[in-house]
A and B are shown apart, each in its own frame.
Chain A
Amino acid sequence: MSQTTLTRSPAMQSPSAPPLRDLYRTMRRIRSFEEHVAELYARSLSAGSMLHLSIGEEGAAAGVCAALQPQDSFTTHHRGHGIFLARGAEPDRMMAEIGGKETGYCRGKGGSMHIADMALGHLGANAIVGGGIPHVVGAGLSYKQLKKDAVSVAFFGDGAMQQGILYESMNMAALWDLPVLFVCINNQYGMGTRIDKATRSTAFDRRAEAFGLRAGMVDGEDVEQVHAMAQDLVDGARKGQPGFMAVSCFRFFGHGRMDKSPYRSADEEETGRKRDPVAHARAALLERSLATPAELDALDAEIGREMSAAIDFTARSPAPELDTMFRDVYGEGEPRPESIKARLDRVLARN
C-alpha cells in the first residue's frame, strides 16, 4: 500500500479483524472505567490530583491495541488509562494504582500518569509530553538487535506533535528501519489550547512521511477503520517499515478534573461529543444485527459492575507501608539512600 493510498482511502476491513462486538466491549469498558475514576475522586479515594480521562478517545485505544500481538510493547502519554485497558489491564489493579494503593500495578508509587506493567508490555505512561516516545525507538533497536519478532508503539497526544523529541525519534526509527509505530491521538486539545492555535498545519501524516515513515490519518469515531489502519501499519512495522498514524477524535471533557473547559463553547462541546466511538459501534452492531439492544444493555451493566468492584477493591486495599518509600530507588541489593531520620539519629547521637 502506498503512502498516499493509506492516507486517502478508507481502510478496508481485513479478514483477521476482531469482531466489532469485542471492540465495542473494550471501548465500553474504557468508558465505564473513566466514569468510575470520577467516582473514585468523589469518594476521596483518588491519590492523585492529576487525572486525565480518555472519554471520546476509546476508538484509538481499542482499534490500535487490537492490532498488537502479546510480545509487542508500548508507551503512553498521561491520558493513557484507555490504552492500558485495551491491552488487557485489570481494572482492579489500575484503579488501585490511581488510588495510590499497595495493590496497584506500581504499588502506589506511579499513579494515573506513571502506570506500567512489563507483563503486558506496557513500558510506561509518561507525564512529560513526548517523554515516552524515544523509548519505543530503543525497544525497536532491542528487538532488531536481539532478533525478536516484536513491535513497539508510542501513543501520544496532539500536544506532542509540537515536541522536538518526536521528530528525533521518527527520524531514527526511519533511518534504522525499526519495528516501531507512532500513534498520535489527536483529541484537538493540548490542555486548553486547540490544535489550530498550536500549529499552522494539522496534516500530521505529511510530517511523518517527510521522515520516510508510512503514515496515515483516520477518524477515531470508527473503531473498525482505526483497527484496519493500525493493523496495516503494525504489520509493516513488524517487517521493519516504521509507521505513523494520527487518530482524530474529541476530548469530551476538560484536561483534568478541575478543568471546566472555559476555552471552548458549549456548541463546540455538543458537536464534538457527537463524535462518539462507543455510540457509533453500538449503532453499527444493531444495524448489522450483530447484537440486540437487550444484549448490549446487559453487557454494559456487567461492565458497570466490574468497574464498581474495582472501586471497592481500591477502597479495601491498604496504603503502601512507609518503609517502602526507600525501596526501588535503586536495584535490589544495591546501597539505598539513608533516610533523614536515620541520619539525624546517627549524627546527633555522636554529637
Chain B
Amino acid sequence: MSNTPNTTTTTYRDALRAGLRDAMLADDTVVVIGEEVGVYGGAYGVTKDLIKEFGAGRLIDTPISEPAIIGAAVGAAMTGLRPVAELMYVDFLGMTMDQVGNQAAKIRYMFGGQIGVPMVLRTQGGTGRSAGAQHSQSLEAMVMHTPGLRLAMPATASDAYHLLRHSLTLPDPVVFIEHKALYARKEEADLTTPIAPWGKAAIRRPGRDVTLVTYSRMVHVSLEAARVLAERGIEVEVIDLRTLNPLDMETVVASVNRTGRAVAVSEAPMTSGVAAELAARISEECFDFLEDPVLRLAGEDIPVSVSPELESASIPTVGLIVDAISRMVAR
C-alpha cells in the first residue's frame, strides 16, 4: 500500500481511540462509561489518556456492575446523551442481556417509535490471548438474533475508526465488537475516507472460483488462505461483511452467483452461528448458481481452552480453509 497523504500507520487500538476522540470532539453529548475506561485507560488501552483531555465527567469509571452500566447507558441515551458503554469482554454479555436484549433493543418498538436508544456498546471478543473459556468467546450470533440491535465487527484499523464514528451518528443501539487479537495490528489506514459506507461489505480480494464470506479477525486468516490457494491456481474472493446488522447480502449474492461456490468463515461456534445464517441465506438466494453445498468453517462446538495449542486448534486456521476449499473445488 502506498503512503498517500490520507493514510497513516496506525494500530487497530489507536484507530479506535482516534475514533472515540474525534467523536467526542465533534459531539459534546458523547460520553464513555464503563469499568476502567478512565484512569486505567481501558483493559486493552483503547481509552488511554482520553480522561486527560475530556475529564472524568466524560470518561466515567464505574463499579463492576455490568447490568447497571448498560442500563444507565440506556437511560442516558433516552435523555440526551450519546453514551459509549464499554463491556470489557463480550463474555459478560449474558450478565447484561436484559438491558441489551429486552431494553435497548426493544424500547423504540415497544414505545411506538416515540424514542430511540442511540448508544454504542463497545466490547471485544474472540480467541488469541489464551484467556480461557470465559474471556475468549464470539457471541455475535446472540446480538444478530435480537432485532433492534445493529452489529459492527471491524477487521481493520480503518474500519475500526470509520465504523465507530458512524455508529455514533446512528439513532439506534449498536453493538460494536472488536477483536482482542487485532488491537496491536498495524496497518496503513485511511482515517479520512472509509473503504465502503456503513452496511456495505468490502471485497478484500477479488477471485473467480470461490466466494469466502467472513468478518473480524477471520478476514486476515482468510486472506492468508486465499494467497496460499492462489499459488495452487484457485482464486478466492474474500468478502469482509464489516457489519452483521445491517447484513449486505447483495454483495455476497452477486459474488456467489459469479463464482458458484461459497464458504462462510467465522470464529464463533458453528451451530446456529453466523456462518449458519450465511449458509442458509446463500443457499436460498443463490441455489441455481451453486455448484457445491455452502460450507461452514467455524469454531468447534466446544468451550475455548486456555492451552494455546487447544485454543488455536479450535477455530478455523489457514490450513483448514486451504484444505476445505481445495477439496471443494476438486470435487
Q: Tell me if A264 is interfacial: C-beta within 8 Å of chain B.
A: no
Is the Cβ of B112 less than 8 Å from the Cβ of A138?
A: no
Contact of B109 among A141, A142, A329 (CB under 8 A): A329
How far apart are B68's CB and chain A's nearest CB, in angstroms? 3
Identity of the chain B residue whose Cβ is nearest the Cβ of A140 in the assembled complex:
B75
Give the one of A109, A330, A346 with max B CB within 10 A. Answer: A330
Is the Cβ of A118 less than 8 Å from the Cβ of B115?
A: yes
Is the Cβ of B148 less than 8 Å from the Cβ of A116?
A: no
Q: Tell me if B236 is interfacial: C-beta within 8 Å of chain A.
A: no
Cβ proximity bits A146-163 to B, threshold 8 Å, 1 near / 0 not: 101000100000000000
Give the contacts of B50-94 with A (CB-CB under 8 A).
57-58, 60, 62-63, 65, 67-68, 70-81, 83
Give the contacts of B166-196 with A (CB-CB under 8 A).
170-172
Interface residues on chain B, size class:
35 or more
Is the Cβ of A146 less than 8 Å from the Cβ of B65?
A: no
How far apart are B112's CB and chain A's nearest CB, in angstroms? 4
Identity of the chain A residue whose Cβ is nearest the Cβ of B31 in the assembled complex:
A145
How far apart are B104's CB and chain A's nearest CB, in angstroms? 10
Is the Cβ of B112 less than 8 Å from the Cβ of A105?
A: yes
Is the Cβ of A133 less than 8 Å from the Cβ of B71?
A: yes
Is the Cβ of A137 less than 8 Å from the Cβ of B68?
A: yes
Give the one of A114, A124, A126 with max B CB within 10 A. Answer: A124
Q: Tell me if A123 is interfacial: C-beta within 8 Å of chain B.
A: yes
Q: Tell me if A175 is interfacial: C-beta within 8 Å of chain B.
A: yes
Interface residues on chain A, size class:
35 or more
Is the Cβ of A139 less than 8 Å from the Cβ of B79?
A: yes
Give the one of A134, A332, A351 with max B CB within 10 A. Answer: A134
Contact of B170 among A132, A331, A343, A350 (CB under 8 A): A331
Cβ proximity bits A103-144 to B, threshold 8 Å, 1 near / 0 not: 011111110001011100001101110011111111111110
Chain A binder among B152-160, B283-291, B295-303: B283-291
Q: Given A107-B112, A165-B67, A350-B288: A330 and B172 within 8 A (CB)?
A: yes
Is the Cβ of A172 less than 8 Å from the Cβ of B78?
A: no
Contact of A142 among B68, B79, B98 (CB under 8 A): B79
Is the Cβ of B108 less than 8 Å from the Cβ of A123?
A: no
Is the Cβ of A128 less than 8 Å from the Cβ of B102?
A: yes
How far apart are B76's CB and chain A's nearest CB, in angstroms? 4
Contact of B114 among A116, A138, A164 (CB under 8 A): A116
Residues of B within 8 A of A104 (CB): 112
Residues of A within 8 A of B57 (CB): 145
User: In the complex, A72→B61 CA distance in Å?
Assistant: 26
Additional 5 contacts, C-beta under 8 A, given A145-B58, A146-B80, A331-B172? A106-B112, A142-B81, A171-B63, A332-B171, A335-B246
